[in-house]
Amino acid sequence: MWLIFLNLINMNKKKLNKLIKKIFLNHGLSNKHALIASKSLIKAELVGAPSHGLARLKMYCDRLKRKIINPKPEIKIKKISQSITHIDADNSIGFVAADIGIKNAISNATKTGFGLVGIKNSGHYGLSSFYAEQAVKKNLIVFCFTNAPPAIAPFGSKKALFGTNPICFGTPTGKKIPFILDASASIINRGKIRRAEKLNQKIPSGIALDKYGNPTTNAKKALEGVQLPIAGFKGSGLAWMVDIISGVLTGANHGGKVKDPFKDFTGPQNVGHLFITIKPSIFIGKKYLSQIKKNIGSVKRLPKSNRIKHILYPGEKKYSNYQKNLKRCIEIPKNILEEINKLNVIK
Ligand SMILES: NC(=O)c1ccc[n+]([C@@H]2O[C@H](COP(=O)([O-])OP(=O)(O)OC[C@H]3O[C@@H](n4cnc5c(N)ncnc54)[C@H](O)[C@@H]3O)[C@@H](O)[C@H]2O)c1
């Protein structure tokens, strides 16, 4: 315990944000794009998802250095109708493409009641909840999808092909805390395994198989093998669905072709994202908010299982992590800070 404690370094958020933004600027991003990217990494740390935070900075920089993330993309936004937009992200860093995409989806739904945005030629965009939150803050219901590099073996196969392809749904709740369900189709997200590998930690049992098909708690072996989907063939089916709507529908890579950003530097990833936004009032008018409050209330009042004090709705935990962590410094494992410092020196 003490060893783990001693290996963590506290850093002030503002200072850290400045440092990460500077590193992105030095790797060719514009001021605006560097700010979007650095804020996304810091936000992941603040909500308690370090799997999608600073531990990934080196990967983004390695790809920017080789220009397989395009530092100066010419993003093309094609309006198909008042509600539908198709975006070619020109291999921008995923955060930027997705930020433009969700803003379009918000604007489309605000005008017409419904927004659909498909994005191709993008990259890894971090947490889907970043984008869902933006839509919910504008009082919209939202779905966010992205595909990802091979990690899950389709049911019946022993070879990884689907990504951990998260499914994200958000809705306003009439309260401060939005409902945001943001879950990968794998039992745990791949970032947690990557971070465990980096920090020399074991992963829980029952979530991955090594390349020979044996259960493993070794992070490196799990990354070489396959991750298990949630609920067997149902999770495999959900990962497949996300691959179809994010990849096939948008014109992005799919069917195992999204490149692994950590180890495949032969070209851009061409990840696809799909955002759907809906005005909650479209069917029942203003009653939506009173109904959703009732709905959540009826779940929260249920008798609790043993040792459970409160029934939470999705998003509550991350919201409370964020509020708590806003007042604190960010804890960074020593080896990740060393990596950041090196990136700050080497261009
Ligand atoms: N960009 C990518 O390629 C990619 C790929 C996979 C995952 N991800 C991201 O990784 C993140 C984490 O995924 P995960 O599957 O590990 O998430 P998780 O297991 O931490 O949480 C899944 C969902 O369950 C909810 N939840 C957690 N505890 C709860 C409780 N006690 N009661 C009620 N609800 C609860 C959370 O709010 C969340 O919505 C997601 O934000 C996802 O978008 C990104």
Tell me the per-residue pLDDT of 286-298, one tens digit each, with 9 for 90 and over.
999 999 999 999 9
26-32: long-range contacts (C-beta < 8 A, 24 or more apart)?
26/344, 26/347, 27/60, 27/61, 27/64, 27/65, 27/71, 27/347, 28/64, 28/71, 28/72, 29/64, 29/71, 29/93, 30/71, 30/72
Residue of the CA atom closest to atom 14 of ligand 1 = 183
Q: How far is the CA of 37 from the centre of ligand 1 (A)?
A: 20
Return the ∠ at Cα 137 (arms to 132 and 139), rounded to 5°.
100
Cα distance between residue 257 and residue 269, in whole Å: 8
Q: How far is the CA of 183 from the centre of ligand 1 (A)?
A: 4
Residue of the CA atom closest to atom 24 of ligand 1 = 314
Residue of the CA atom closest to atom 41 of ligand 1 = 127
Cα distance between residue 294 and residue 19, in whole Å: 45
pTM for the full predicted model: 0.96
Ligand 1 atom with the smallest distance to the CA of 147 is 3
Residue of the CA atom closest to atom 22 of ligand 1 = 183
Q: How far is the CA of 127 from the centre of ligand 1 (A)?
A: 8
- Nearby residues of 65 by Cβ (< 8 Å), 6 or more positions away: 27
The pLDDT score that the predictor gives to residue 297 is 97
The pLDDT score that the predictor gives to residue 2 is 36
Residue of the CA atom closest to atom 26 of ligand 1 = 314
Q: How far is the CA of 342 from the centre of ligand 1 (A)?
A: 30
What residues of the chain score a pLDDT lower than 70? 1-6, 346-347
Cα distance between residue 24 and residue 69, in whole Å: 12
Tell me which of 317, 318, 320 to substitute to probe ligand 1's pocket, judged by most ligand atoms within 8 Å of the beta carbon: 317
Q: How far is the CA of 222 from the centre of ligand 1 (A)?
A: 19
Residue of the CA atom closest to atom 44 of ligand 1 = 127
Which residues surround ligand 1 with Cβ inside 6 Å? 49, 52, 124-129, 146, 148, 164, 166, 168, 180-184, 188-189, 312, 314-315, 317-318
Q: How far is the CA of 185 from the centre of ligand 1 (A)?
A: 9
Alpha-carbon Rg of the chain, whole angstroms? 20
Residue of the CA atom closest to atom 27 of ligand 1 = 314
pLDDT tens profile 112-142: 999 999 999 999 999 999 999 999 999 999 9
Tell me which of 189, 228, 230, 274 to substitute to probe ligand 1's pocket, judged by most ligand atoms within 8 Å of the beta carbon: 189
DSSP 4-22: HHHTEEEE-HHHHHHHHHH
Ligand 1 atom with the smallest distance to the CA of 52 is 10
Ligand 1 atom with the smallest distance to the CA of 317 is 37
